[in-house]
Amino acid sequence: MKLKGQTAIITGAASGIGAQTALLFSQEGANVVLVDLNSCSKTLAAIQETRKDAVFLECLGDIRDPEFVSATIARASDKFGELHILVNNAGTCSRLGLDTMTLDMWDRDMETNVKAAFLFIQSVVYPHMIEQKYGRIINISSVSGLNGGVTSGGKKDGRSGPAYSASKGAIIALTKWVAKELGEHGITCNSVAPGATESAITAGVEYDVGGQAIKRIGTPSDIAEAILYFATSESGYTTGQVLKVDGGYSFG
């Protein structure tokens, strides 16, 4: 087991990439802290079905709220002690264009996708990861944060809006800053940038995968496996990197 005895905090764990990551981490021996606004009952059922001795904690609330974030980290620390892994996965995606996007939509994407990640990083690093001189932080970005929002094949209905693209670009910049700042403390910070992936956000969206090397959209399992690498001790010499998991949609 690659994560035996370690504790991982995963946001957006009720479904999609977050749920699959929590399941995979549990199978690899981790204690998992499932964070979401919605119930993680389906994720927990899958975890318990595949690992009878699974150890977990469910924390439900608004990840944009500093008090909720602080309380979540405190509960996790009280239950498990050291906190080893943070996966900032939760996100929202507004697809409206510049001419129709409202300020509320902009704020929602920026606060959920960037502010919440900052809050969790700050709360788990100080003092937990700093004191233990070890940590793995994985931020889920998107190829939209690299190419401005043309996610797969360039179809208009597959494009993300300006707030989503800007927020995912900001996550990449935050990843690099944190990696540079905390590397001397034994803490790595990397980003996984999925292409079009099956999720609640992409439900009902038609993608043209003709331009991809692999002719399908991604699955949560595809992304979770990439996240797992960054969460392990084997990735200790890798930090500040952005791993594109997009079926060969983007090269270079």
- Among candidate residues 134, 164, 207, 249, the one labeled active-site is 164
Active site residue 164: yes
**156: which residues sit within 8 A by CB, 6+ positions away?**
none
How far is residue 196's CA from residue 199's CA, in Å, rounded to a whole number? Answer: 9
Where do runs of H (alpha helix) occur along the chain? 16-27, 41-50, 66-80, 103-110, 116-124, 130-132, 144-147, 162-182, 220-231
**137: which residues sit within 8 A by CB, 6+ positions away?**
85, 86, 88, 121, 124, 125, 175, 178, 187, 188, 189, 190
Please give the positions annotated as active site.
164
